Structure 1
Amino acid sequence: MLKKSNGGMYVKVETRSIEYVPENERHGKARDLFPIWFGANMNITTLVSGALPIMLGLNLFWSIVAIIIGALIGAIFMASHSVQGPRLGIPQMIQSRAQFGVIGAIIPLFLVMFIYLGFFASNTLLAAQTIGDILPIGQTWNIIFIGAICFVVALYGYDLIHKVQKWFSAASLVLFLIMTVIVFLLPVPAEQWVSSEFNLSAFLLSVSIAVTWQLSYAPYVADYSRYLPTNTPPKQTFWYSYSGTVIGAVWMMALGAVLTIAIPNFADNTGGNLAGLFGSFAIIMFVLIIFGQLAINVFNLYGAFMSSITTIEPFFKFRVTPKVRFAFLLVITIVATGLCILGQGNFLDFFLNFIFFMSYFLIPWTSINLVDYYVLRSGEYSVKDIFDLNGKYGKVNWIASFAFVASIVVEIPFVNASFYVGPIANLLDGADLAWAVGLFLPAALYYFPMKRKLSRSDAPLEANVLGGMNEVEEV
């Protein structure tokens, strides 16, 4: 936490982990979420993802249209998760216990851990490459250096992350406004802006990339709104999260698409090519690029920490003291940094493979979570039972588990990734509609049997969200 001392500020390690945040510790405004999610997108990993539609064969006009449509769609689900934070006061992934059961939730948690590690690796590789452009240090040492800084910020937690993101968002806004003017003065062939050259399969695949980018925040979006007061208006929570992530993502992806056309081999050294546009002031952009990669990587470490605690907690009850927090984060950082060192090589191929692989597992979880929260239970949960192995949500909810696994299986024929193209994707000339299947199918598979199960229950549909809070303040 950040606290005042003799008129100044000092930083203290966050004392909460996965447990409920009581009302007397709630603070902040919904508007604080805008810089969090705007800043989360102001990095060169987002920029690289904007290059993918161009690499798939779209021109600039259709690439930017696909980016906008995908961001607008995907952010609906992302921001809907953000609303859950103030209402429930617990991290995002532990909420999955209400759908999957206390033990059953380990299935999506385990998969989400790979998402965190994969994004940590991709962000770190880009940052290490950028550091290598300005300092004569080997890439492996750059990776270790980045991991160490991210570890320290993630260790101090929620308030420091919010504070860092506010400063970073302000700096990003100024420098990327200047960058945008520079980029749109670069020579770009006129045919890149015409609407006549349209490839449906590449367009749908590009929309899928932008949708998936937004959905990639779903496993940890409520982590950064859970300290807001319970009476924070849900509409404000939604729109500040939504606008921040859409504006940041569309801006960066569009720049990435333009730069891929304007600068030959731009993706081979994204950071160096971007900073080079500032000429003698390149060092300023280098610093911002590196800082942006560090900032988003903190999210991944912080989320991995929450998920690992959530996975272990049902079997071993323990208090997350600063020492325990230090130990968990250190192990996670070592593993993530080690994977990054081993994964050095062709970054863009790795990222393209990863972003699609991730979406096939993540999207069905999002669908089940949101249908349960908004349609079946109207946001009313017993937080006490979320932490109780023998509570009302049970050990395993087979309805959710079946819907989740079955949806992933059904997605396979629709997949179009560099490592596999499904038969239906082939019939559609390469169009990837797996994300749409992953949103709508699990919603139906979960909603109807779960509605019957809840209607047969003798107990009221749900306890009030504040019921029994005193019993869950310590886990």
Structure 2
Amino acid sequence: MSAERGTVPLIEKHTIGYVPPEDRHGKVRDLFTLWFGGNIAPLPIVTGALGVQIYHLNLFWGIVAIVIGQAVGGVLMALHSAQGPQMGIPQMIQSRAQFGSWGALLVTVIAGVMYVGFFASNIVLAGKSLHGIAPTVPVPVGIVIGAVGSGCIGIIGYRFIHVLNRIGTWVLGIGIVVGFWMILSHVQSADFLTRGGFNLAGWLATVSLSALWQIAFAPYVSDYSRYLPEDVGVASTFWATYLGCALGSTLAFVFGAVAALAVPPGVDTMDAVKQATGVLGPVMLVLFLLSVISHNALNLYGAVLSVITSLQTFAYRWIPTSKARAVLSVVILVACCFAAIGASSDFVGHFVDLVLALLVVLVPWTAINLIDFYVIHAGRYDIDSIFRVDGGIYGRFNPQALIAYAVGIAVQIPFMNTPMYAGPVAAHIDGADLSWLVGLVVTSPLYYWLASRDSAYRRRQHAGVPV
């Protein structure tokens, strides 16, 4: 029986450990509000504007690309979310069942770096937003305020994050609908519908950017469904997450594109939002600032769980508590504040570039995790083995997963187009990055084939059949 809502502690007591049935709580609809409210924020708005600003699509083709990318990427993201109630453990520690206790360490560290990058980028964005709203507040002070706000939410943990996003869904949902009305009723550019056009490379690039936005959530999405009661089904978890995240991020992406086209070319996206929404502009910026602070708590929370998972790989007798999570949260928060305040003016751009590069190594992980969970093991795992230093029945390393993972990264290289490296195939299609799609298509069947052969070998060996 799940715990009554009134008995749930305010500060989350579990970290990476299994959540027993008596500590489960919440409703599946909370996943919709979490991912809907969390995606109506400046970063997805700025990202959504790139299709019309950088890739020169018109409004129609920009929206089509955004919708397709979000719809496809959202499927993968929501499939990860549906694992939470079934297993009751965080996403990255669950990877030990696919890669082994030590084999999962690389992916866990990469995910942690990505979370830190997003957290640091968002506190810079929060600092600049606060300075824009109240010019008397210096950007460094705004950075600290944004970080502390997110830190308090992240330390309290799972339940408070859900509560805030239930409120945010209504406030931000109404705000963005009114914002659309203000922009469309006060269009300031004569070429709102005609600026840009269609080009295949730009359209594919926008689809990829939109899909990767969803895939970036994959390493931590089930962290926010693992407290739901065990009897919550896969389908209900999937649809609540999928509809919330796909709808929220699609609205934010399209809002960015519409705002960018509604003003003359060359205006910064958030300045375009303020300018295009008229008298509502300052209010919109305040709402988006609050959204950044609230949603950024997820990045801090994910970073802390990744660090704890990495440390626990070696200190397997350590049982981390809420105090350990709070201390690590403060350490990461302070380090990110120092880095963000002392960084260059293009700090956010550099971290986004890093995140795009890291997604290349997370895509094969997504394929392996989903094939293993849904096809090979059908959601049935030995939880005790996952927490053993030797990996239990999963071992320290799983050669099949590591081989498929390495191949999945290698096949993406010719198709990559990141600020750090551009592959030859991407150059021939005018810079469209299709590496994520290639990585999924190759890694999924390869891992299934390798894992199936290994399972068949073990069954025959156990039965005494010569192999």
Q: Check whether TM > 0.5.
A: yes
Alpha carbons of structure 1 residues 330 and 445: separation in structure 2 relative to 1, 3 Å: same
Alignment of 1:410-449 (within 5 A): 410-449=411-450
Alpha carbons of structure 1 residues 404 and 188: separation in structure 2 relative to 1, 3 Å: farther
Alpha carbons of structure 1 residues 98 and 2: separation in structure 2 relative to 1, 3 Å: same
Preserved CA contact (<8 Å) 1:92 1:219: yes
Calculate the aligned-residue CA RMSD, in Å: 2.5
Preserved CA contact (<8 Å) 2:10 2:159: no
CA distance in 1, matches of 2:126, 2:384: 41
Unaligned runs of 5+ in 1: 462-475
Identity %: 37
Deviations 1:37-75, CA, capped at 9 Å, x for gaps: 101211011100101111122121111111000000000
Deviations 1:118-146, CA, capped at 9 Å, x for gaps: 21122222221110012212212211221
> How much does 1:354 deviate?
3.7
Preserved CA contact (<8 Å) 1:92 1:223: yes
> How much does 1:315 deviate?
1.3
Aligned to 1:382: 382
Aligned to 2:164: 164
Preserved CA contact (<8 Å) 1:48 1:267: no
Alignment of 1:20-419 (within 5 A): 20-54=18-52, 55-135=54-134, 136-187=136-187, 193=193, 197-264=197-264, 268=268, 270=270, 272-277=271-276, 279-316=278-315, 317-346=317-346, 349-350=349-350, 353-390=353-390, 391-419=392-420
Preserved CA contact (<8 Å) 1:61 1:192: no
CA distance in 2, matches of 1:194, 1:215: 31
> How much does 1:449 deviate?
1.2
Q: Which residue identity lines up with residue 375 of structure 1 in the other structure?
A: V
Preserved CA contact (<8 Å) 1:125 1:344: no
CA distance in 1, matches of 2:179, 2:344: 28
Alpha carbons of structure 1 residues 187 and 112: separation in structure 2 relative to 1, 3 Å: same
Alpha carbons of structure 1 residues 197 and 233: separation in structure 2 relative to 1, 3 Å: same
CA distance in 2, matches of 1:116, 1:397: 25
TM-score, length-scaled by structure 2: 0.91
Preserved CA contact (<8 Å) 1:62 1:195: no
Preserved CA contact (<8 Å) 1:425 1:432: yes
> Is 135-144 or 190-199 further displaced after alignment?
190-199
CA distance in 1, matches of 2:354, 2:103: 25
Aligned to 2:465: none
Preserved CA contact (<8 Å) 1:2 1:159: no
Preserved CA contact (<8 Å) 2:260 2:273: no
Deviations 1:268-292, CA, capped at 9 Å, x for gaps: 361x543455555544323211111
Preserved CA contact (<8 Å) 2:414 2:423: yes
Q: Which residue identity lines up with residue 20 of structure 2 in the other structure?
A: P
Alpha carbons of structure 1 residues 188 and 264: separation in structure 2 relative to 1, 3 Å: closer
Preserved CA contact (<8 Å) 1:2 1:11: no
CA distance in 2, matches of 1:279, 1:62: 26
Q: Which residue identity lines up with residue 451 of structure 2 in the other structure?
A: M
Deviations 1:375-416, CA, capped at 9 Å, x for gaps: 111111111111112300111112212222222122111012
CA distance in 1, matches of 2:230, 2:416: 40
> How much does 1:266 deviate?
6.9
Alpha carbons of structure 1 residues 107 and 355: separation in structure 2 relative to 1, 3 Å: closer
Preserved CA contact (<8 Å) 2:73 2:214: yes
> Is 183-192 or 97-106 further displaced after alignment?
183-192
TM-score, length-scaled by structure 1: 0.90
Preserved CA contact (<8 Å) 2:155 2:326: yes
Preserved CA contact (<8 Å) 2:124 2:348: no
- 3-state SS of the aligned residue for 1:416? coil
Preserved CA contact (<8 Å) 2:256 2:269: no
Unaligned runs of 5+ in 2: 463-467
Preserved CA contact (<8 Å) 2:56 2:196: no
Preserved CA contact (<8 Å) 1:45 1:122: no
- 3-state SS of the aligned residue for 2:185? coil
